[in-house]
Every structure is written in structure tokens, then in C-alpha cells.
Chain A
Amino acid sequence: GGGSEEGSGDGGESASSGDENINIRFAHEEGQGDVQDLYVNEFKNRVEEQTDGRITVDVYTAGTLGGNSDMFTQLQTGAIDFAISSPGFTGTIIPQTQIMAVPFLFSDNMEVNKKVLDESEALYGTLAEKYEEKGLKPFKFWLEGFMYWTANKPITEPEDMKGMKMRGMPTDLIMESYRQMGADPQGTDSGEIYTMLQTGGIDGQENPLFYIYSSNFYEVQDYLMDSKHHIYTTVTVANSDWFSTLAEEDQTLIEDTIQEVNDWSFTMQQEEQEKAMAEIEKSDIEIIELTTEQRDAFKELSAPVRDAYVESGGEGAQEILETIEADIEAAEEELN
């Protein structure tokens, strides 16, 4: 038994030609069939097909190798080679990544967000360096859709948010942003969200649509707010030592494939949102789309979080924030 003893391509001999058999261990944070899983499997299929199986990819879904921060360490120590690692979970190690926790930073035009995530110097210059310092090579940032609010009452103006027990990812910037919006933020463990929503222990939560659907939160909530207050961003990373031992052709092949999958993922995530929305619409949850004025009211309230980011984001945070803000503005001008 156990036909899995061959090590991955970390033999150490720096092969210069791309003819070595390579097994890539690729982990992500989501369940089977979720957006990240589709992304990684697309990468697997393309790479395996292009190399006729010379390069193989083992996909590890959420939980099989531990939680998010576990995955990060395993990537650093080379236990896994590749991962989808969301900045939301890495703020404790790379504080600069908390930029992705600032609400209302991104545009309500998804094309703008796509362009910025694909190109911004803030991400591929300063922020990428911070990843490199921790032994990781970030390839591409990409997105998994707008974040939505769910609750048992409509949330359209700051008054509605007042005193609400709102669940967000338990990081200090996200907690702070809900405090600024007047809510009583909760860092409820993700395994407890469903029960707490059902029993009313928390009043609402935020997540991308496909996750609200796959985790069944819509079953226990009355209202879904299309608030566009945030997008869920993530990044494809590799262990940089491992990556540098690969033959140059293989490095290029992998980088090109990631770029292809990244472009593909933009349409894919849109389709996943649409599928999720179609299913959610079949339930009796009421869907409310926030107007620009309504969004702006929340945006104004949460503005101080940007200062909080500069303060706790470590060296280079200010630069990252300013660059990305400028890039978003430029992209909006170009595309709107």
C-alpha cells in the first residue's frame, strides 16, 4: 500500500532541462467544488495535459492538511509546494497583507478590480517583497467575488448596523471596520457560524456569495444584502526555494499556466456567483441591492480603518495603500 512515496521535485539537482518528473503538492483553503478548488484543479489539468503527465499535481482541499495558518507554515517549510493563501489569514505573519482587509477600498466595478489585482505595482512590488522575505513567491492575486452581508433584517443604512452582532473574519482590522460602522463585531469560529446564525447568537455575517451558498447560511437568514463593501481576494503562492530549483522551462510553463488560469478564473468565479445566486433565489431569502448613496454612508464610517492599516501594517503599508488607491482610481477612469 501507500504508493505515494516518491518525493516531490526537490531533489536538489538543479536540472536545467525540463525533463524531470515533478509532483506538485498544491493546497487551498476551500472545500471541494468551491472557487479555489476549481482554480487548482484547472491548473492541475492544464499542467498535466501540457506535459503529458511529466508534471503531476496533488490537490489538498481545506482541512486535510490543517487550517489556514498551518498551510502557511507548511508552505514555508516545503511540506507543500503551492498554495492559495488568502491575505485575510496572513496578517499575523505579513502585516502588510492586511491591505485586503480594508473595506470599500476596491471598486464596485469588477473589471476595475480585476485589472488592479492583475497589474498593481502595490501588489507586485512592495507587497510581493514582503512575501519573498518569508520565503514565498507570490504569483498572481485574484478574486473570488464581492462580499455580501446576510442578516435577519435589512441593512441599508448605518442605523441598521448599530449594535448588530456581525460576524467577520477574526482579524483586528475587519473587527475594527465593523466597530467603525457601529456594529458589535464577532469573530465567531467558522465552524460555529451556521448554528450561531440559526440560534441568533450572531445577527449577521459577511462572505462571498458562493460561500454563503456552499455553507448554507442562506437557510438560516432572511435578508441578503448585495453591498459590494468588499471583494474576497486571494493569492497563488509557492515556496520560493522549491520553485527556484525547477528547470527554467518548467518555471516558465508554470508561470504561464498560472496566468492563463487566473484569466480563466475571472469568468469562472462570475459563473459560480451566478449559480449560487440562482440557487439562493429559489429559497425565501429576500435580496436587497444597496444603492451607491447607501454604500457611501458605510464607506464614510469605515474610512478610519485606512489609518489603522497604515499604523499596524508595518513598513511599506502607507506606500502600498497609496499606490493601490491611485491604481484603482486610474483604472476606474479608464474603464468606467
Chain B
Amino acid sequence: MTLWAIMAILFIMLFLNFPIMIVLIATGLIMMMTMAPHLDYIVFVQQMISSVEAYVLLAIPMFIFAADIIVRGQTANRLLDFVRDIIGHIRGGTGIVTAATSTLFGSVSGSSQATIAAIGPPMRNRALQYGYKDSHIMGLIVNSAGIAILIPPSIVMIYYGMLTGTSVGDLFIAGVIPGIFIFLGFALYEYIIAIRRKIPVEPKTTWSQRFKSLRGAILTFGFPIIILGGIYSGVFSPTEAAAFSVLYAFILEVIVFREVKVRDLFPIAASTGVVTSIVFILLAAGGAFSWIISYLRIPQALTETVLGNDPTQLQVLIIMSLFFLVSCMFVDSLVAIAVLTPIFFPLASQMGIDPVVIGILVTMQATLGTVTPPFGVNIFTACAVFNKPYMEVVKGVFPYIIIFMIVNVILILYPDIIIAYRYIF
């Protein structure tokens, strides 16, 4: 009873336009006071702090900082000019390139939020110039960045592998195919939308023009080299690659192009700090909120009620996916996985469901959870990075979520697709 009343308060507060940070803190504390009154409430503060302290999260402000620098300088434009000259004449090209870049970047940085921070702004600027609707392009960025978790390296898969003893290598391979499916779905949608909305194409450019913009852009290719090359060759961890992209942005914009002055860096850094705070206070509040939920063992109680006894394999997969999806909406995916995996994994694996299948479905829900309203870290990040109201970002996400959902449902109904790689490789 108490639980449902608190959930009602949560949604009412959200509707009434309370800052989401306040909603999560207030309802988390109410839950603690009513359902676990013996607790020392400082645990709530401790959980807020430790939710933002994870080392891997450091990449996010670094990518935001690098992006802030290059957006004020020339890098972004030079790179995008080059892309325009190469594929600008293809219908839907900008949308497809945005999806491809987000997917690629997300796949290596391992963090959807870092992806939005790093390449969201330049991609969005250019797409707006081409006549794309803002909410459309934001929705695309929010969702294609989500694919990051499915394509290796993936912290979610490593964590799941650790908790369940599933081979991370197998999970990595198995994640690639659904990841590509979703990307292709996005690309197709972009193509169709470009035709239907008659988004103008650029005139086809000459080879000498292309060569000229290549020369202008050549230094900016350092970014993918640092990030993709650095991580895959093992020179950098994702966090270090993020730090190096700040250094490279500094060298390019301040020393080479001289568009940004050293003293400009202070306001840029301050703005990075504010954007980081806006995203991270939600991670903090969400972390404390989910702590109290797992402390009260609410997921365990709910699963028992929902599953009953003697469920079928399909029922288990559906309920499991729903639980993970809803949890990943509210809380950080790693926390959701820590709480739910011990509940569902034994059940599902005892029914003969392959651990890799379970892992990929869990990862799918984690991905979806970050892009689905009302709570989605990617949506929040986009709001903060683009400085746009929540509703405007949310407006554009639905077509992509539908594509996500279609792939998701196919995988739940035909889980053998996930392990099809074993017959291919």
C-alpha cells in the first residue's frame, strides 16, 4: 500500500513540473522514512555520492568538455563540411551519418551519455542547417547513442558476465548483430523520412571540392584516431581517451586553428561543469532511490507476485525483460542488473535458456531503459547538453523506440537469433 502511494506521489510531482532531481530525492526519502524507519538516513547521502564516484563515469565530463571546445572552434564545422561534400547529395544522408557516427562512437566510448556529449552538438548543428526538425535529430542522437551498450566494449555485458559467469567474449560477439539490426532500422527510417519530408539534398560536389574539404578536415580525423584507435589498440582506457580528446581539442582549436583563446577555456569549463552537474545529480538521486528499493527487496516481492508458480519459458523471458526495462528506466543499468540478475538468472537458466540469450536481452533492456521516457539518462543528458526542455527532446524519440521495440520483441520471441553467431563463426 505504502509503496503504491509513494509511486503515486512520484508521478504527480513529475507531472507538476518539479525538477526530477527533487522528485527522486523526496520520494526516496519518503520511502525510507515510511518503509524503513529504523535506518540512519545518512545512507541516502552516501548512496548519492557513491553513485557518481565510479571511475568509468569520468569519461562523461571529459567528452562534454572536448565537445564544448570543438563546438566553439572550427573542428566540428570542418569535419561536417567534409561529410557534407562526400554524402550530402544522398537522400537522408545526414540522418544516416548521424546514426552511424553515434553508433560507432558509442560503441568505443562504451557510454551513451558520453556519446551524446561528444558528438551530439556538432551533429545536431549541421542537421538543423539542413532543415531537419530539432526534436527529430535529438531523438535520433539519443537513440543511436543508446546502441553503445550493445556493441563492444560494453560495461553492462562485462558486469553481467561477472555476476553470472557468462563468457564476456561470447556476449560481445552476440551483441553485435542486434546492434547492427537496430542501426539498420534507424538508417532505413532516416531514408524514408527524408523522402517523405522532402529534406533537401546538397548539390553533388566536384572531386576538387571534396579534396579541398578533406585537406581542411584532415587534422580533425585525429579524434576518431585517438578514440577508436586508442581504445582498440589498448593505448587508452575509455576514460583516458576522453581526457586525450580534451587535449587534442585544445591543441587543435587553441594552438592550430586559434579560434578559441586560452581565456575562453574558463567559461567553457564552467559550462561543462554545470552540464555535468545537471546529469550527475540525477545519477546521484537515482542511485539513492534505487538503493532503498533494493534494500527493501521490492523487486523480489514483486517478482514472486507476478510470476506465480510454474511459468513457461516465454513468460519468464517477457517478465524478465519487463522488469529489467522498467528498472533501467529509473535507475542506472548497472544497479538494476546487480539487483535483478540474482533473481532472474537462476530461474531462467534452470529453464534451459542460454546465459548468452539472457545477457543480450538484459543488455537490450538496459539500452532501451536509457532512451525511454519518463526516465532515461540519455534523454536527461540530451536536455542538459543541448539546453532544451524535456518535452522537446522526448517528442522525437518515439519512432526510434518503436524500432528498438520491434527488434526487442523479435529477440524475445525468437531468442535463437541471438546465438545464431555460433553457426556463423
Contacts and interface: CB of A to CB of B under 8 A. Distances in A.
B347 interface: no
B4 A215 contact: no
B158 A194 contact: yes
Nearest to A217: B168
Interface in B37-60: 37-40, 42-43, 46-47, 50, 54-56
Interface stretch (B195-203, B230-238, B372-380): B230-238
Interface in A169-205: 188-189, 191-192, 194-196, 198-201
A10 interface: yes
Given A2-B301, A191-B158, A194-B158, A64 B339 contact: yes
Contacts of B3: 1-2
Contacts of A215: 161-162
Contacts of A201: 234-237
Interface size class of B (residues with CB under 8 A): 35 or more
Contacts of A64: 294, 335, 338-339, 342
A70 B305 CA distance: 30
Given A32-B163, A194-B158, A77 B296 contact: no
A98 to B, nearest CB: 21
Interface string B294-305: 111110111001
A332 interface: no
A77 B237 contact: no
Contacts of A32: 163-164, 341-342, 345-346
Q: Which label, helix, strand, loop or mixed, suits the secondary structure of the A interface? A: loop
A139 B37 CA distance: 28
Nearest to B296: A4
Given A78-B40, A192-B55, A63 B302 contact: no
Given A2-B296, A64-B294, A79-B43, A10 B38 contact: yes
A63 B39 contact: no
Contacts of B163: 31-32, 61-63
A66 B231 contact: no
Given A189-B54, A216-B167, A1 B339 contact: no
A76 to B, nearest CB: 9
Interface in B265-310: 291, 294-298, 300-302, 305
Interface string A204-221: 000000000111100110
A195 B43 contact: no
B35 interface: yes
Given A2-B3, A4-B298, A70-B50, A219 B167 contact: yes
Given A188-B237, A216-B161, A219-B168, A77 B42 contact: yes
A194 B168 contact: yes
B165 A33 contact: yes
A7 interface: yes
A215 B6 CA distance: 38
B260 interface: no
Contacts of A62: 163, 338
A38 B226 CA distance: 44
Nearest to A59: B342
Contacts of A188: 237
Nearest to A197: B234
Interface string A46-85: 0000000000001011111111011001100111000000
Given A77-B42, A215-B161, A1 B301 contact: yes
A199 B298 contact: no
Contacts of B291: 65-66
Contact of A67 (B50, B168, B232): B50
Interface string B238-266: 10000000000000000000000000000
Contacts of B232: 199
Interface string B76-119: 00000000000000000000000000000000001000000000
Contacts of B296: 2, 4-5
A323 interface: no
B47 A70 contact: yes
A77 B44 CA distance: 11
A9 B62 CA distance: 47
Given A1-B298, A4-B296, A10-B38, A192 B164 contact: no
A125 interface: no
A282 to B, nearest CB: 12
Nearest to A61: B342
Most chain B CB neighbours (cut-off 10 Å) among A2, A61, A70, A78: A2
A120 interface: no
A270 interface: no
B389 interface: no
Nearest to A8: B38
Contacts of B153: 195, 198
Interface string B198-234: 0000000000000000000000000000000001111
A219 B338 CA distance: 23
A223 to B, nearest CB: 17
Contacts of B158: 191, 194-195
B131 interface: no
B298 to A, nearest CB: 5
Given A63-B334, A214-B162, A74 B234 contact: no
B189 interface: no
B311 interface: no
28 contacts: A8-B38, A31-B163, A31-B165, A32-B345, A58-B297, A61-B163, A61-B342, A63-B159, A63-B335, A64-B339, A65-B291, A73-B43, A77-B43, A78-B39, A189-B55, A189-B56, A191-B334, A192-B237, A194-B168, A195-B158, A196-B237, A198-B234, A200-B233, A214-B162, A214-B165, A216-B162, A216-B166, A219-B169
Interface of B: 2-4, 35-40, 42-43, 46-47, 50, 54-56, 110, 153, 155, 158-159, 161-169, 231-238, 291, 294-298, 300-302, 305, 334-335, 337-339, 341-342, 345-346
Given A191-B155, A199-B234, 12 more contacts: A1-B301, A2-B3, A2-B298, A32-B342, A32-B346, A64-B294, A64-B338, A70-B47, A199-B232, A213-B165, A216-B162, A216-B168
Q: What 6 pairs between A and B have smallest CB-CB spacing?
A: A63-B338, A199-B234, A200-B234, A77-B40, A189-B55, A2-B3
